[in-house]
Structure 1
């Protein structure tokens, strides 16, 4: 990387960052963006990650684990002497971001749409002086995005509820990346009129009888077969489908694999 000097960039929450050199020591508190950084060729620059940064699988054995996405070890982070910390508006709390700002610049992303994802990748190219790599990734993603839109065109719209948590039961509403990908897949979100991740009463699910599928995500709550059986007693004849939560909620380079996964999912439905 070229050692650019005195450049400024604005992150997704409007914070102006001024750098006197390209950040070299990176801590990522966002699993999907950790994966992206590696795919951009920046693995050697990563000094700290969360316990949830599971891709690539061997990374957790090479890098310092500084906590999770909602609770971090500030002393450990400070000792790693990062040049920049990567956070996400949804994944990390405002308290974490504000505290980390006393250590070094904190770059915060906010990904709701596929277009936001393209912008984030481009921003990383400018931030870490790897524009060629980010352009290549955005080209691959754009081609796959276009191909998937051709694939999905003409497929009927199905109404779904996408569960992310149990006790209490929580689903994906609108204003998040999951809802964006549901819409892209011609899945009408039954809870799109509610924001973010509302709690719901299972007994009131599918009261109109118009729900086609219940999607049980693999993360953050790992739904099991018993959960599907319990739901089907209430939502019958709605079919419960286990889905890969990473494919529906991880942004960054993971989206390339997600398009192939979505094709396979539609073939199984």
Structure 2
């Protein structure tokens, strides 16, 4: 069987993989929700869902630094990567061990395509279709909910020292737009470093979001950012809901509704 991944590489599989290594947290969660728990043999230290995987599966490193020897020992049939999470060098090295599938996600359509690909590769089409249908239904419902909400200028911070935000060409920016949050850094590519003192000049946001991942923002950081805004409300948000693109999307739209309702109180 030959599949084409999301960066248009051919992935050849003799049969549906029975031993899977996942190097992407959101894809690990998706595998579990597809009923593939018993086939997952290796994960990263950032694969926190489902929680019990950490004690049952072999941790093979992070997303940017993996332990190839550990992966080799697991004798995987396939290794799952992501263009943003894992480097080209990692993908090339791991291809010496097993077939590597690389996802590349910018939109919900991309996420649905990935779910469909997993359904085909792992022979779990029914479960993949069920998850995809749930996402489509909740997306349609959310679009009706959000269509008349005001557009709010927003800055979405992911890191401190240096301060970094989500810019264009990211799944986060796509979801911000879907939520009618106008990203003031949408003119900057990917995850740019920004200066807090210039935030008013670069967009003067109504909202400043401090993501729960990858940086553990605290109250003092919200105060620090607040010194450089004119009128913005600083809000801690669940980074998994804004950046995880697998089955987490089933839960994301209800979270977005609660977030918008909270902002309007």
**What's the TM-score, normalizing by structure 1?**
0.96
Distance 1:71 1:156, change over 3 A: same
Distance 1:227 1:185, change over 3 A: same
| Match of residue 106, structure 2, among 92, 108, 112 | 112
| Match of residue 88, structure 2, among 94, 101, 124 | 94
Q: Secondary structure at the match of 2:175?
A: helix
Q: Structure 1 CA distance, aligned partners of 2:151 and 2:228? A: 23
Distance 1:209 1:122, change over 3 A: closer
CA RMSD of aligned residues (A): 0.9
Q: Structure 2 CA distance, aligned partners of 1:46 and 1:210? A: 46
Q: Structure 1 CA distance, aligned partners of 2:152 and 2:252? A: 19
Asked whether 1:50 is paired with 2:41, we answer no
Matched with 2:158 is 164
Asked whether 1:31 is paired with 2:18, we answer no
Q: Is the 8 A contact 2:78 2:100 kept in 1?
A: yes
Deviation of 1:18 after TM superposition, in Å, equals 1.7
Matched with 1:185 is 179
- How many residues were matched structurally? 263
What are the superposed Cα offsets for residues 89-112 of structure 1, whole Å, 9 maximum, x if unpaired?
011111111100010111000010
Matched with 1:3 is none
Q: Secondary structure at the match of 2:216?
A: coil
Q: Structure 2 CA distance, aligned partners of 1:257 and 1:208? A: 32
Q: Secondary structure at the match of 1:37?
A: helix
Q: Is the 8 A contact 2:204 2:229 kept in 1?
A: no
What are the superposed Cα offsets for residues 237-264 of structure 1, whole Å, 9 maximum, x if unpaired?
2111110100000110001111111000
Asked whether 1:220 is paired with 2:214, we answer yes
User: 4+ residue runs of structure 1 moved beyond 4 angstroms?
Assistant: none
Q: Structure 2 CA distance, aligned partners of 1:265 and 1:203? A: 27
Q: Structure 2 CA distance, aligned partners of 1:209 and 1:108? A: 35
Distance 1:30 1:208, change over 3 A: closer
Q: Structure 1 CA distance, aligned partners of 2:147 and 2:195? A: 34
Q: Structure 1 CA distance, aligned partners of 2:78 and 2:203? A: 50
Q: Structure 2 CA distance, aligned partners of 1:101 and 1:37? A: 21
Deviation of 1:236 after TM superposition, in Å, equals 3.1
What are the superposed Cα offsets for residues 156-206 of structure 1, whole Å, 9 maximum, x if unpaired?
100000000011110000101000100000000001111100101111012
Matched with 1:9 is 3
Q: Secondary structure at the match of 2:227?
A: helix
Q: Secondary structure at the match of 1:235?
A: coil
> What aligned pairs does 1:248-259 form with structure 2 within 5 A after superposition?
248-259=242-253
What are the superposed Cα offsets for residues 133-178 of structure 1, whole Å, 9 maximum, x if unpaired?
1011111111001000011011110000000001111000010100
Deviation of 1:208 after TM superposition, in Å, equals 6.2
Matched with 2:143 is 149
